Structure 1
Amino acid sequence: MIPDELTKGQFDTVYNVLSLAIAAQLFTAIFLLAAQPRVLQRYRQALVISAIVCGIAAYHYFRIFDSFKKAFVSDAPGGESVYKQAIGESFNEGYRYVDWLLTVPLLLMELVVVLALARKLQASLLWRLIPASALMIALGYPGEISGDTTTRLIWGTLSTIPFLYILYVLFVELTRSLDRQSPTVRMTVSRMRILLFASWGVYPISYLLPVIGGDGPVAWVSKQGAYSVADILAKCLYGLLIYRIARLKSFSDEKSFAKDEGKEDLVEAKP
């Protein structure tokens, strides 16, 4: 539940972490777009998708930031020790779910695209991962906005089903398709999957805070911070790893490109 009031320290914490998320998402998107010439043409689509993910996140974090500033106000010049909910205003948590509904499927898409798998296998993975990810987000939203513990648990459990299926596809099905990738690419993909698992694991923990008694201003501020940091890891750091994979595969595909980039030492023999 959204608290009725925040201390100045709590207000500043949320204010600053939302500002950090905006900056991280925005400038990662700019970097990924500017880095297009650093990879071969066939891998640029993955970087564009990654930049779109960060751009969508930056936009929604700006909306979250604006909603937060309107929801908690202080009439005292320079701010007082307590920020109260403004009359007629409320913090809109729905912006996060709109963001996730758009970006989570794209996160999975960019991983599949950058690996340049066989067309049939690529289509098979996408047809399973994208609907499952959209369903996971959609099922979690009714519980997020509910103040009833039972309702939250029911929708949270339903949302977990597609989440577990996505993990199965990423850690079992996708692994079978990595045989033709270089050892360095396989290692990077493994790190990306662990990153997704770790960062996505923050969401259900934050989601369940009200259920386990973690309610009130401290829990709410902690949840906003956890969501924001997890989004930075799952989008910005993930996007940079996508960029690394695209670079490695570019060097492996064309030795002349690796030479031009001064990265001959990163060229690996194809398995």
Structure 2
Amino acid sequence: MIPDALSHGQFVTVYNFLSLVIAAQLFTAVFLVISLPRILPRYRNAITVAIVVCGIAAYHYFRIFDSFRSAFVTKSVGGTGTYTQAVGESFNEGYRYVDWLLTVPLLLVELVAVLALARKVQSQLLFRLVPAAALMIALGYPGEISGDNTVRGIFGILSTIPFLYILYILFSQLSKSLKNQPIEVRGTLSRLRFLLLLSWGVYPIAYLLPLLNIAGSDAWVYKQVGYSIADIVAKAVYALIIFRVAKMKSYADDREFAAIETSREDAAPAARSSASNTV
């Protein structure tokens, strides 16, 4: 449930975390757009999906941020007093779920795309993963907007079923494909699955806070902070690791391309050092 009031500290905490997520998603997307030519074309689909994910997240966090600012207002001078819900305004939690409904399946597409598996294998994996991800988010939403902890718990359990199915696919089926990946990236790809698990694990914890006897404005603030941190890790940090994997695989696939890119990377520090010495 959305609290009727927030202290100044609680308001500022949520405000700053929402701002942090916007910056993280937006500038990760910008970095990936600029860096797209630094990998081979066969891996650019994965990075393009990552750019789309970060772009969608940045857009929805702008909407969440505006909704938050409109929903909680204060009459105190300097904005240091208690923030109460504005008349006729309400914080729209639905923006998060629309965002997740679009981005969570795409996160799985990123991982499958960067593996560059045979088209048939990719199609089979995505046919199993994407609907499960969408179902997981759709089942969580009724519980999120309910003020009844029993309803919240029921839908939390229901959404856990496709979540466990996704984990099964990630850790059983994708493990087979790791054997066909370059040795340089096997460890990174393996850890990437755990990063996905770790970041996704924050969502149910934040979701279940009202069931853990953490009530009122504290529970709501903790939930917003938890969701924000998880979104940064699951999208921005995850995208940067996907880019690193794509770059390493590009180097492993094409030694000439690797030599050109490596020479550029070596030339950049030298140019900066020369410019510094000139000054």
Matched, 1:109 2:109: yes
2:271 maps to what in 1?
none
| DSSP-derived class of the 1:92 partner | coil
1:191 maps to what in 2?
191
1:66 maps to what in 2?
66
- Name the count of aligned residue pairs: 263
Matched, 1:161 2:167: no
| DSSP-derived class of the 1:138 partner | helix
| DSSP-derived class of the 1:35 partner | helix
2:277 maps to what in 1?
none
Q: Residues 246-265 of structure 1: matches in 2 within 5 Å?
A: 246-262=246-262
CA distance in 2 between partners of 1:216 and 1:56 (Å): 30
CA distance in 2 between partners of 1:147 and 1:183 (Å): 50
1:241 maps to what in 2?
241
CA distance in 2 between partners of 1:180 and 1:98 (Å): 35
Matched, 1:218 2:202: no
By how many angstroms is 1:213 displaced? 1.1
By how many angstroms is 1:183 displaced? 2.2
1:268 maps to what in 2?
none
| DSSP-derived class of the 1:102 partner | helix
CA distance in 1 between partners of 2:159 and 2:241 (Å): 27
| DSSP-derived class of the 2:83 partner | strand
2:268 maps to what in 1?
none
Matched, 1:77 2:72: no
CA distance in 1 between partners of 2:100 and 2:215 (Å): 23
Unaligned 5+ segments in structure 1 are 264-271
Matched, 1:50 2:31: no
Please give the root-mean-square deviation of Cα atoms over the aligned residues, in Å: 0.9
CA distance in 1 between partners of 2:86 and 2:80 (Å): 14
By how many angstroms is 1:217 displaced? 1.1
Matched, 1:97 2:122: no
| DSSP-derived class of the 1:84 partner | strand
The runs of at least 4 consecutive aligned structure 1 residues that moved more than 6 Å come to none
CA distance in 2 between partners of 1:219 and 1:139 (Å): 21
CA distance in 2 between partners of 1:191 and 1:89 (Å): 43
CA deviations on 1:186-225 (whole Å, 9 max, x unpaired) are: 1111111111111111111111111121111111111101
By how many angstroms is 1:161 displaced? 0.3
1:28 maps to what in 2?
28
Code of the residue aligned with 1:112 in structure 2: it is V
2:270 maps to what in 1?
none
By how many angstroms is 1:57 displaced? 0.2
Identify the range of structure 1 (76-85 vs 199-208) with the bigger mean alpha-carbon deviation: 76-85
| DSSP-derived class of the 2:2 partner | coil
| DSSP-derived class of the 1:18 partner | helix
Identify the range of structure 1 (227-236 vs 203-212) with the bigger mean alpha-carbon deviation: 203-212
CA distance in 2 between partners of 1:151 and 1:222 (Å): 20
Code of the residue aligned with 2:193 in structure 1: it is R
Bigger fraction of residues in helix: 2
CA distance in 2 between partners of 1:207 and 1:135 (Å): 16
CA distance in 2 between partners of 1:142 and 1:158 (Å): 11
1:178 maps to what in 2?
178
Matched, 1:126 2:126: yes
By how many angstroms is 1:182 displaced? 1.6
| DSSP-derived class of the 1:78 partner | helix
TM-score relative to the length of structure 2: 0.93
TM-score relative to the length of structure 1: 0.95
Code of the residue aligned with 2:215 in structure 1: it is D
CA distance in 2 between partners of 1:52 and 1:88 (Å): 33
| Amino-acid identity (%) | 66
2:11 maps to what in 1?
11
CA distance in 2 between partners of 1:177 and 1:192 (Å): 14
CA distance in 2 between partners of 1:184 and 1:219 (Å): 43
Code of the residue aligned with 2:60 in structure 1: it is H
By how many angstroms is 1:105 displaced? 0.4
By how many angstroms is 1:262 displaced? 1.5
Code of the residue aligned with 1:76 in structure 2: it is S
